[in-house]
Structure 1
Amino acid sequence: MKFRCLIVDDEPLAQEVLVKFIALVPSLSLVQKCDNALEALQVLHSEKIDVLFTDIKMPELSGLQLARSLSSAPKIILTTAFSEYALEGFDLGVTDYLMKPFSFERFLLAVNRAVGGKDPRDTAAPPPAPAAEPEFLFFKVDRRVVKVALADVLYLQGYGNYVKIHLRGARTLVATDKMTNVEKLLTGATFMRVHKSYIVALAHISEYDHASLAVEGVTLPIGDVYRKGFMETMKAQANG
């Protein structure tokens, strides 16, 4: 399925960047790009929009005023060069805040936070449990954007600005991203960071002790900083 996007920005170059980035993500579809918030309001009243990318400082009506005016808002990602509006933006419940100029990797992180593997148009579905992981994430792999089902992930291994994703079936992907970024998106009870270099899918752990754990025959270390939290989590799961 495609998540329908709307761009609102009075700078043509900023629009071009977002158009390019949206086109690189297979599950995103650009509905329209608008030069101002008043034009965007007309689109929002006539089209179903899932993700709204809006600048803040615009003539007549700002991006923040636009967000406040929406009774049933899509996921909102602010794009701006002015960091002083960040707190006000998050008070309005925006999904993310992109500081111009932003990279494709940072854009992808915001998109992952917005779509979260769920269809935001499915209002009949029950609300997700707090701090639950999405069903999938997008990763930049070479020159492609790859959709990865988290149910297939065994563990993730960090290498500086890269993350090696180990999947079921002895498959691996090397994504351009940092472990800290990925960890922010995996905040529920399914995955856990057990070492500065490893995030593990708890369901795939076959055995463990205080120093290490095993995932499908691969032994991974447990870092000192993460040991207490890991042991408490495993004990809680065992007690059910």
Structure 2
Amino acid sequence: MKQLNCLIIDDEPIAREGIKEYCNEISFLNVVALCKNVLQANHYLENNEIDIIFLDINMPILSGIDWLKGLKKSPSIIMTTAYKEYALQSFTYNVLDYLVKPISFKRFLQAVNKVNSYYGSSDEKNILFLKSERQLKKINIKDILFAEAMQNYIKVVTPKETIITHISLKSFKDQLPEDNFIQTHKSYIVSKYKVDKIVENQIIIGDYEIPISVRLRKMVLNHF
């Protein structure tokens, strides 16, 4: 798996160390430098290859947003900020995700999975990491049969195992290839390539029966 070199830019030492600790928990992230302002970052970028920048907005000398405006070419950016109001503006500058402090590890993991898919080779693009039972479990997207929502958790079912992870169904769906997965019900997402047959208001995948809601039935059938 490709190692992604990370640069962390934040004027607060505690925030820098917090992001670094999160990165250290994820096998494909490699933190190469911590900067307290964008001038330090500029100097580092002149001589080093970076894949991901974790960037704060409100900093002395120059804000993260103003710095992005001046970059002709930048690595992938994940904003890490206490300010929600800059989200829309930031996505015009090669920003792949926008994390609002305090940042949970679950939300951080979702963001870096997105970047990993963006950078990955044809095989690596199919890999996700899910937090389950105090572990990070690697899962191949091609192996997913379906996912089922269970209140604040989801159950991800593959031929070999079932993983329970603390994430919303919508957040999980956002990490999947849009053309490969369909929502059949408010509580279910299925891989359309794993469907064996459709019987009335159910999708059959092996021994599993997944419901199709009345509201989504027409859309589901249009996929086949």
TM-score normalised by L of structure 1: 0.87
Aligned-pair Cα RMSD in Å:
1.8
Distance 1:177 1:83 in 2: 21
Aligned-residue offset at 1:225: 2.3
CA contact (8 A) 1:8 1:35 kept: yes
Find the counterpart in structure 1 of residue 46 from structure 2: 45
| Correspondence for 1:144 among 135, 144, 160 | 135
CA contact (8 A) 1:26 1:145 kept: no
Partner SS, residue 95 of structure 1: strand
Does 1:215 find its partner at 2:216? no
Find the counterpart in structure 1 of residue 154 from structure 2: 163
Paired amino acid for 2:67: L
Partner SS, residue 225 of structure 1: coil
Partner SS, residue 216 of structure 2: helix
Task: Output one character per residue of 1:13-68: Cα deviation in whole Å (capped at 9) or x when no partner.
Answer: 11121011111111111111111100011112211111110101111121112222
Deviating beyond 4 angstroms after TM superposition, the runs of 4 or more aligned structure 1 residues are none
> Matched residues, percent identical?
34
Does 1:75 find its partner at 2:65? no
Distance 2:118 2:207 in 1: 29
Find the counterpart in structure 2 of residue 237 from structure 1: none
Task: Output one character per residue of 1:84-113: Cα deviation in whole Å (capped at 9) or x when no partner.
Answer: 222221122311111111111111111122
Distance 1:180 1:89 in 2: 22
Paired amino acid for 2:211: P
CA contact (8 A) 2:74 2:94 kept: no
Pair 1:73–1:138, CA change in 2 (3 A): same
Aligned-residue offset at 1:145: 1.6
TM-score normalised by L of structure 2: 0.93
Partner SS, residue 59 of structure 1: coil
Distance 1:226 1:118 in 2: 33
Partner SS, residue 29 of structure 1: strand
Task: Output one character per residue of 1:98-150: Cα deviation in whole Å (capped at 9) or x when no partner.
Answer: 1111111111111122222633xx8xx9xxxxxxxx41222111212222110
Find the counterpart in structure 2 of residue 34 from structure 1: 35
Distance 1:195 1:4 in 2: 39
Find the counterpart in structure 2 of residue 128 from structure 1: none
Gap regions ≥5 residues in structure 1? 126-133, 235-240
Find the counterpart in structure 1 of residue 86 from structure 2: 85
Partner SS, residue 52 of structure 1: strand
Distance 1:187 1:151 in 2: 10
Gap regions ≥5 residues in structure 2? none
Distance 2:105 2:55 in 1: 16
